[in-house]
Structure 1
Amino acid sequence: MLTPQSLGWLKGIDLTSNLVSSLLLFIGFVLLRVLVGRIFSRLMIENGEFKRKLYVYTKNSLSALFFVALVIIWAGKLESFALSLAAVAAAIAISFKEYFLCVLGGIYKYSSQLFRVGDRIEIRDLRGDVVDHDFLTTTLLEIGPGSKIHQFTGRTLVIPNSIFLSHPLINETAQTTIGIHSFEFPAFITDDLETIESHLMKAAIEASTPYMAAAEESYRRLARAEGIEEPNVKPRISKFFPEAHHVIFVVRFSAPVKRKGKVEQEIVSKFLKTIPKDAFDRHQ
């Protein structure tokens, strides 16, 4: 006949078994993560972006399997302690609020497929190329400074996933690797606006012509897939007046997403080489 003392002894053995199993599982998980990291570091894949995507997918899959196995090991104990855990759930939720929000943000990110490794994203004042992400954080190679500069700053941004729950995200490479971009060019109302516009258009056409065919095909596929009207990818120039005596030219052009900064600089350089010097002298 089992006495209270023997029942307590059996429960102690069961708890010890779970702890040992959890420890062995954790050691195996760490060793496997290290092994996977070494394998990928030696893996000869020419496409670096594909290699990063495969590594992140493998790493996150191992993490998910680890947590599932941990839940299976402790399922019986979790059920036994469910009522007692409910008493401290509120305190834990408050203490680990940010941690839980990061996990929820990670789940939201994965389920909504907000971005992938290699995508260029912007959220709040943070902008860069995604190089790694998991259930807690997302790592970016920063692009900028600001939204008008398209160069790597040399800094790495590690942002918590909770930010995706409360702020809109811009994915510059969500639909296609080549797209329509724009930048602003300021002038005075007394400048030779007609000459400025014609030279800007000429420079935009010369710089973006190599990419227009690919852009047309890309947006044609997107329009068919999404059931939307196919946009015109040819260069365009619009004007608006932010204040008296000033005019802003908005130059729109087609270019690969990750080359738009270079194409923009090419347009500006071509424009400055061909524009007559007296086109900007009328306001003086």
Structure 2
Amino acid sequence: MERIQQWFQDYPLLQSIIKYVAIVVFVLLCIQFIRRFLKRNIENVSVRYKSQKGIEVLGYFVLAFVTILYFTGSIKDFTITLGLLSAGLAFTLQELILSIAGSVYIFIVKVYGPGDRIEINGIRGDVIDVDSIYTTMMEIGQWVESDNYTGRIVKLSNAFVFKGPVYNYSKDFPFIWDEFNLPIRYGSDIELAKSIIIEIATNILSEYTQASREQWTEVVSKYYIEDAMVEPTLAITLTDNWVKFNLRYIVDYKKRRFTKHLLHDAIRKQIEATNGKVVLASTTIELIKIPEIKIDNSNTTKQ
């Protein structure tokens, strides 16, 4: 024991470093203990996630404060050192600081959170984690049609919230408008076709229409925006080849593909049941008249 004490007296810097490491380990253990305690005792997934992230960020600030205060030795020196350190970090770690500032901005302004579907920097996906530097997303789209997962997990710097628009599919209004076109052949019963499409759309989309109407009322009261029609609408356009029916409707942002499948399948069955009164059109080519070809043989010489 005396040798150890003598050794520490001979190497005071090493003693200081060991004390600092012990303090850091103690703080980290406290953070882990609190995180596990919250994980065991909070049932709500969202609240548990946010509380754990809050403790993690608070722990980083405590470690930074303890580190600077430990090596400066006084509050006065601490403020001077902090100023010099901030200037140096601002120059050398611009991207990192911007990412940390982005995480604070995301948390305070609530730009998005875990569970939201967003598009940022040209990447679409569901947010599965937001830490102090990165936003982690489960990617959708790309080579996969519609809004299906690709299986790739994307990590994106939080600094991108300052560099471009952030499209949020689910914040405040978790519904989106979608549409598709149906070509109906000329000569079909247009009124019957209209009634079939509107009736099917109204029945299939009734749940979304009711829920979105309530949500849209809150959006109108919160933002400067005009009221909008959330019921299915049908617009007809006459083209050179067919009557184009454009169905526009509102749907849950996570069920766009499946809902479109239900609409297409139900409309197809009802049109087939009309026994030819309503016919879906397709691209065709019609030859009106074949030009006559005349050959003059009067100038030919008989051999």
Say if 1:131 and 1:186 are closer, same or farther in 2 by CA, change over 3 A: same
Unaligned runs of 5+ in 2: 1-10, 286-303
3-state DSSP class of the match of 1:283?
Answer: coil
Equivalent in the alignment of 1:283 = 284
Q: TM-score, normalised by structure 1?
A: 0.71
The answer (yes or no) to whether the contact 1:120–1:171 under 8 Å persists in 2 is yes
Q: Partner amino acid for 2:178?
A: S
Distance (Å, rounded) in 2 between the aligned partners of 1:274 and 1:51: 49
Corresponding position: 1:256 with 2:252: yes
CA deviation map 1:65-114 (0-9, x unaligned): 4444445545645545578769x83xx65643332332232233234321
CA deviation map 1:231-264 (0-9, x unaligned): 22111245789x9979986543233333334323
3-state DSSP class of the match of 1:213?
Answer: helix
The answer (yes or no) to whether the contact 2:39–2:48 under 8 Å persists in 1 is no
The answer (yes or no) to whether the contact 2:184–2:280 under 8 Å persists in 1 is no
Distance (Å, rounded) in 2 between the aligned partners of 1:232 and 1:267: 19
Equivalent in the alignment of 1:109 = 106
CA deviation map 1:182-223 (0-9, x unaligned): 144475998979577665444322221022222212222232
The offset of 1:129, in angstroms, is: 1.9
Corresponding position: 1:161 with 2:158: yes
Q: Partner amino acid for 1:159?
A: L
Match of 2:125 among 120, 125, 128: 128
Match of 1:181 among 177, 182, 193: 177
3-state DSSP class of the match of 2:254?
Answer: helix
Match of 2:94 among 76, 94, 97: 97
CA deviation map 1:120-146 (0-9, x unaligned): 111133122222112200112223347
- Superposition pairs for residues 54-69 of structure 1, below 5 Å? 54-69=51-66
Equivalent in the alignment of 1:274 = 270
The offset of 1:174, in angstroms, is: 1.4
Match of 2:30 among 29, 32, 35: 32
Say if 1:125 and 1:216 are closer, same or farther in 2 by CA, change over 3 A: same
Equivalent in the alignment of 2:299 = none
3-state DSSP class of the match of 2:132?
Answer: coil
RCO higher in structure (CA 8 A, sep ≥6): 1
Corresponding position: 1:170 with 2:173: no
Unaligned runs of 5+ in 1: 1-11
* % identical equivalent positions: 20
Distance (Å, rounded) in 1 between the aligned partners of 2:58 and 2:242: 55
Report the number of matched residues. Answer: 266
Distance (Å, rounded) in 2 between the aligned partners of 1:193 and 1:109: 54
Q: TM-score, normalised by structure 2?
A: 0.67
Distance (Å, rounded) in 2 between the aligned partners of 1:232 and 1:102: 39
Root-mean-square deviation over aligned CA pairs: 4.1
Equivalent in the alignment of 2:293 = none
Match of 2:213 among 213, 216, 227: 216
Say if 1:203 and 1:38 are closer, same or farther in 2 by CA, change over 3 A: same
Distance (Å, rounded) in 2 between the aligned partners of 1:187 and 1:168: 36
- Superposition pairs for residues 82-93 of structure 1, below 5 Å? 89=88, 93=90
Say if 1:259 and 1:28 are closer, same or farther in 2 by CA, change over 3 A: farther
The structure with the larger Rg is 2
Say if 1:39 and 1:223 are closer, same or farther in 2 by CA, change over 3 A: same
